[in-house]
Amino acid sequence: MRARMWCSRLWRGRPARMHALLLTALVALSGIIAVPRLDSAPPPRTTLLVLGDSLTWGSNYFAKAQTRLAATGTFDTVVVDSRWGRRISGPTSARYSGVVAYKTLVADGLRPTAVIVALGSNDVAILVKRREFVAVIDDLMNAIGNVPVVWLTVHRVDSANVTRQSQRFNSTLIKELARYPLATVFDWVSVATSDPSVVDPDKIHLTPKGYEVRAKVYLALASELAQRASDLTSTTTTTLPTTTIAP
């Protein structure tokens, strides 16, 4: 009887002792056991904003730019915001100021991850000095912040004076955007001059064919911007820490 009781106590105590011995052996062999955390997060949502004036309005009306941009699926959200007579900046409403329009959209919850800027056509008819162009360009770029941007050059040939101002604006734009690492300039002038049939007889706006060409430019630029935004995201990926289990 005593032998059976002793054996029973021995059996009940054996698992605990074996566990202790196994843990001691593991600690002796490895010191600390590192268990990687396999946390994952969904990719951030992407938003393209096309900010423009009457040329962008026409591209949306005649060539369905926003619908076609959204249909590609390149961005989760696409917003084409354009108004007739809109300038780059100025103390006016969102209808006539690109800066005010951008800030209003952001205040309403929009978070652009890439921007196509198609403004300047109305500024070249009013502003005359290079420093004035610099001021309005910087005003909008500072409002947009640290996201990829493509800005289209201006093509207006409705008078000799406006043509000169357009050229001055474009050269200023190229020089100024070189200061912004995430910004590039698209040469719309070369597109417009290579095929005169895209420009309306008023030498400011576009023909229906021209608006189709402009919409296709936006589609190509959107693809480029999506890649640039993706590259930015991949280069900012952080390494997750490990969780350690000590004895």
Q: pLDDT (tens digit, 9 = 90+) per residue, 51-83?
A: 999 999 999 999 999 999 999 999 999 999 999
C-alpha 2: how far from its chain's center? Answer: 81
Tokens 């103390």 found at: 91
Examine residue 34 and state whether it is found in any structural domain, yes or no: no
Examine residue 215 and state whether it is found in any structural domain, yes or no: yes
Examine residue 20 and state whether it is found in any structural domain, yes or no: no
The helix/strand/coil state of 82 is strand
Examine residue 104 and state whether it is found in any structural domain, yes or no: yes
Examine residue 4 and state whether it is found in any structural domain, yes or no: no
Domain interval for residue 224: 47-234
Tokens 């290079």 found at: 130
Examine residue 41 and state whether it is found in any structural domain, yes or no: no
Stretches in the chain below the pLDDT threshold 70: 1-42, 234-247
pLDDT for position 20: 52
Domain containing residue 54: CATH number: 3.40.50.1110
Examine residue 12 and state whether it is found in any structural domain, yes or no: no
- Domain total of the chain: 1
pLDDT for position 14: 53
Examine residue 42 and state whether it is found in any structural domain, yes or no: no
- Angstrom distance (rounded) from CA 242 to CA 234: 21
